[in-house]
Amino acid sequence: MRGTGPLLAATTGLWAVIVLVSQVLAEPPLSPVVTILVGVLITNVLIVGYGSTLRGPRQSRRARRPRPPRPPRPGDDGPDAQARPEGLTDEVVDQAVALLLPLLDGDAVSITDRHRMLAFAGPGHDHHARGSPLYARTRDSVLRTGRTGVVWGRGEDLIGCPQPGCPLRSAAIAALRIGDEIIGSVTVYRTTDDPPRAELVEAAAGILSLHLEVGELESRQRLATDAELDALRAQINPHFLFNTLNTIASRIRTDPEDARQLLVRLADFFRYAIRQRGQFADFSQEYAFVRTYVTLEQARFGDRLNVEYDIDPAVLSVDVPVLMIQPLVENAIKHGASDNVGRTTVRLRARVDPLARMLDVTVRDDGVGMDEPTLVAVATGERPQEASGVGLTNIRQRLALLFGAHHEFDVRSTEGEGTTVHLRLPMR
């Protein structure tokens, strides 16, 4: 369901452009039957190919690792040769130029990146092939400023093609964008000195840019959240394993049964941390993971560490980000019991707000607390990992990627009194 919103938005925008082009800008307007047939055809291609014909197939949710660099292609020698956006695959651009050619009142259509031709359809395709250089100086201006350009004539400052007998004589060039970045161009050519209408080309480039931007944002978010989760897993292993193994080793002779139970708990802990897949899990699973972690830490700290739980049963079935609660408890223990010569109490509280459909999670300790510079350093990840555990900055970044602005993450600490971390997350 997560891709339905972008698909609906893209389909609505696509029909708006089709009506604008065929009924308002075209002279004379196309018949309603032709408009409907063209619209249905493009919509079907979009839906059947989603995600999507214009930005490439969506990766399977199980394929969560970055792709290896693609093999070099002809023309891949520019400074940004490896920076082609994920959506501009050969298959996608070939389909796009074939789709745009009959709609844009031109004789040929091309799609480029910033350095070379990616796809071309129409007269001149024999020498305007994939990987060929870009000639029109006007295109340099379009790629630099983002303003649509119109050229006519075959001079060096115009079409600029050096091939004798090239049939192309005029063109309209519009920028392709992902966000504020110009990543290429869409060009419509004619074989006469009467250039194509710039507004039609600009509208087509806008549609293609929309699809590319949606695809790029989804890809970046998916890879970024996976990278953050993998980084968190990597930090857990060396950070926690050494101290726990020391605790188990110290009990092997004095209490071998207890040592065996701790070893089983340790295995359970790492099995969950490493094997858990996806970005979300039931709170009940994360809660059991926290209890396992706390058992291991209490074996280490003994009576110096007390942990209290106040969990609303309605919370147990709510989805929460994987490995999100345990690091909060870990930081509370790290900045509470580790630095406190007395007894430290850590409290984990979780509640559901059914009206706002929000989940509230609070982790509080009565340890030594932090002064303001230390609090800022820990929250931003500037404090060394061995001192600050997995780092609250990792949690901040993951929450921003998963929920955007629809969450709250508040850290408060007073030196000598303790630290409180409060999460407020939307229920899925």
Q: What residues does each domain of the chain span?
A: 4-219, 279-426
Report which residue type is found at 349.
Answer: R
- CA dist 149 and 307 (Å) reads 67
> Are 334 and 388 within 8 A, CB to CB?
yes
Q: Do 4-219 and 279-426 share a fold?
A: no
What is the percent of the chain where pLDDT is above 90?
A: 19
Average pLDDT for 1-23: 65
Least trusted range by pLDDT, from 28-37, 140-149, 212-221? 212-221
Give the separation between CA 103 and CA 36, rounded to whole angstroms: 13
User: What token pair was written down for 322?
Assistant: 């994987």
Residue whose tokens read 């400023």: 145
What's the chain's average pLDDT? 76
pLDDT digits (tens, 9 = 90+) for 311-363: 999 999 999 988 889 889 988 887 776 666 678 899 999 999 999 999 999 99
Q: What is the pLDDT of residue 57?
A: 38
Phi, psi of 388 (to 5 degrees): -115, 15
pTM of the shown model: 0.49
Q: Which has the minimum average pLDDT: 41-55, 103-117, 360-374?
A: 41-55
In the block, tokens 């490493």 appear at 274
Q: What is the mean pLDDT of residues 72-92?
A: 55
Lowest mean pLDDT among 65-79, 108-122, 199-213, 310-324: 65-79
Instruction: Classify residue 75 as left (phi > 0), alpha (psi -120 to 50) or beta.
Output: left
- 4-219: CATH topology is Beta-Lactamase (3.30.450)
**What integer pLDDT is reported at residue 393 of this predicted model?**
72
**Is pLDDT at 371 greater than 60 in this prediction?**
yes
Would you state the structure tokens that stand for residue 158, as one six-digit string?
A: 């115009």
Give the tokens for residue 7.
């698909």
The pLDDT > 70 percentage for the chain reads 68
- Between 220 and 42, whose confidence is greater? 42
Residue 55 is given by DSSP the state: T
How much is the pLDDT for 226? 60
Q: Are 111 and 87 in contact (CB under 8 A)?
A: no
Q: Are 396 and 423 in contact (CB under 8 A)?
A: no
Residue 230 banded pLDDT, cuts 50, 70, 90: low
What pLDDT is stored for residue 349 in this prediction?
97
More confident call, 223 vs 105:
105
Lowest-pLDDT range of 48-57, 95-104, 265-274: 48-57
CATH code of 279-426, in short, is 3.30.565.10
